[in-house]
Structure 1
Amino acid sequence: MKKKICVIGMGYIGLPTSAMFAKHGFQVLGVDVNEEVVNSLNEGRIIIEEPYLDALVYEEVVKNGSLKASTKAEKADVFIIAVPTPIKEDKTAMMDYVEAATRSIVPFLEPGNMVVLESTSPPGTVENLMMPILRECPFDVEESLYVAHSPERVIPGKILIELVENNRIIGGINRKSAEEVKKIYASFVKGEIFLTDATTAEMCKLMENTFRDVNIALANELAVICEQLGINAWEVIKYSNKHPRVTLHQPGPGVGGHCLAVDPWFIVEKFPETAKIIRLARETNDAMPHHVFGRARNILGSLAGKKIAILGATYKPDIDDLRESPVLELVDLLEEVRDLEVRIYDPFILSYKHLAPDLETALADADLLVLGVNHRVFENIPFGELKSRMRTPKILDTRNFLDGESLRAQGFEYHLLGEGRGFHGQR
């Protein structure tokens, strides 16, 4: 008889995980409070963009009955919680969804069941938030349930590949829990699976993203310094990385997504007096949209009455995900300027404020084009043909993506984040 898995949360992680388990011999029930998500999934349709996921869902797991969706949990052998853990305005974790999901499965739990938290959470979530709720079960939870945290480690655009190929950490409330949970993930994970305790697993996921966030903050700080110094940060990074033990990251308009822009705050929340470097890195990266705003103002002299076109608004290239995108923070800052018009062109976005239907419309009478996201589809834009549509042919590239020399040769005033030339009038 197939083991039944109930996955709570049909978002960017829960749905691909559900489809993967369904493909590998499990009967899966996907649970979500959003009826549109549930109805779409039962019809074999998905409302998120991820390569090959639609084909896997429709052609395989929904069509053969291995994956179904509902707004309510049911009895199962394994319960996986993959709900959002968003950050609040005060930079603390909003854990209401994890708490609600945990409470929702308590009536269905039986001895021998597994409960797995996949949602990225502050250290101690399993032990201090989930376990007290699970202990409401009418049996000895520590002896009878297998409880663990197994954080996802995937990136949008490669989720189905990385779910299989990436190494995985499983942290149990005890050794037996970790070992039992390992068995179900081993059904499709080809990477190594490492066992530890729940809090260590939670901290590992947070530190993986914090490591990257801190190093991006270093690159962003370097970019601002190089602008003030009148040199090119991208050259500094390129030549510094020729050293065999140096790998500097790249600067940009900020850090987005639900991982890098959020996870470090979970550590700061728990250890506000200790996590000083982590907090400073977050504040540095959060300040970059303000810096880009300042660059735009410096280039145009005054922003009042001007039009700025923004190329790309998602938090990273070639995806449709807007979560925590620094470009959206830049848009909010520009909206505060009197009589300033903002137009956004991003072919991955179906609906958002200031969205232009095409690049030509976005550029019409623009005083400045800001390259915010380096989507691959932007590689072959015929800027020479579009130059006449702009009121003033000025470009600010925040990703070192465009060919600055070519654009300058075509008569554009090209500015690059992290390059001193043009910003301070020196090279």
Structure 2
Amino acid sequence: MKQIFAALLAAPLLLGAASAQTQPTQAPATTTNAATRTLSTDLRIYQNFAEVRQPVAPQQGTLTVIWPQSAWSGLIRDSLDLEGLPYTRAVHQTQGSWLENMEGREVVLYEDGREPQTVTLVRARDILIRDAQGLYRRVDAQDLALPELPPESGYGALPVSTFTLAPQASGTGVLSYLTRSVSWTPRYTLTVGDSGAQLSALADITNGTELAYEVGETELLAGDVNLNNDGRMYRTEAMYDTVATSAPASAGNIVQQESLNGIYRYALDQTFSLPASSTVTLPFMTPKVQEFEGYVGLNRGFSESGDEGVLERYYRFKSDRALPGGGVTVREQGRVTGQTRISETAPGRPVDFSLGRDPEVSYVRSVKTVSRTARSAVFEVTYLLKNSKKQPVRAEIKETVYNDRAQVKGEGVTQNGNQVSFEVTLPAGGEVTRTFTVTIPQQ
């Protein structure tokens, strides 16, 4: 049992009926006299889960998979299957803990304020010991010094999946499952300069399990893919937290493929290693930025009361490629000027976002009631926009009138449904005034 736990940190342990064992990831198995081989894993990684496709080559009769706790707790309900090897049933259960092997053996107990003493471990489940006086009591597992090296995965019992193969099953198969413990996300850097803007992207692939994957084929997918809300398979709690760390990558290019019914696909053209409890960062793509512009803006709802404030800094551009949703860091003159997130955007569609307040561009909004009757109310809205910058700046003002029958009139002001908008260029150190009327039916 001690040797079996040593192999668990590299991959799920796969056992055949004749103790034959296939190690599907990086490290070879350690508990078999039969021939073993390393088989690469295929990953289809989505932005909040992944499909793992692990080749297996059992001998005959049964295939047994012993899972590390972190891999089992991330498994998605009803997704575990064995393809290419017909089976008559699959049983998922919890095997005995490693500490059960110590039952009946002498261990050393260390307790605060007492000399170490040799005791006998009677029952591992609740850490029941018998001391030299023959008395029984429960202690903490961390207070025991053991005669054998325990596994890194802890003393807890491990989940086991056992597939009973059909008589006609032969050759190799694929163990497939969905897991929330492996995912990816893009992150972008928008670099703004005097000549325009450039956009670059990285792909962060995160492995939150103890499994170290040697990945053969990798596909990154982005889009709205819904899964069952119950999420976890057979267990609802995570066994422990994992800390993702940065890891180097020797992978090649990530190539965009044809979309799949609204799902964007990207293929990695080389194999790579995905260490346990790690995040591997790969260069993703460098889309071509089109129609980039920076401006200030205000997006608000209509109000009968006046107010004042400052506008926000906005950026807008189009990309020649589909952009999966992710975080964006904006740099100007080498300095970070803000971070935000963008949603998935098709090629050629505008990406528009705000990076916060611009205190150098302010507004004063005043409202005058022109008339109010039982049938309608008419308001005159005036914006005074001031620019204290040393260069001109373009401003976009948008108001939403929460009445589908409202009518808006004003020079340079447009109405699209219930949204009122206008655009102006504010001169350096200058100001601009715009006025429009809003007629709102009262019935």
Scaled to the shorter chain, the TM-score interval is: under 0.3
**Larger CA Rg, structure 1 vs 2:** 2
Relative to its length, the structure with more strand (as a share) is 2
Relative to its length, the structure with more helix (as a share) is 1
Larger relative contact order (C-alpha < 8 A, sep ≥ 6)?
Answer: 2
Q: TM-score, normalised by structure 1?
A: 0.27
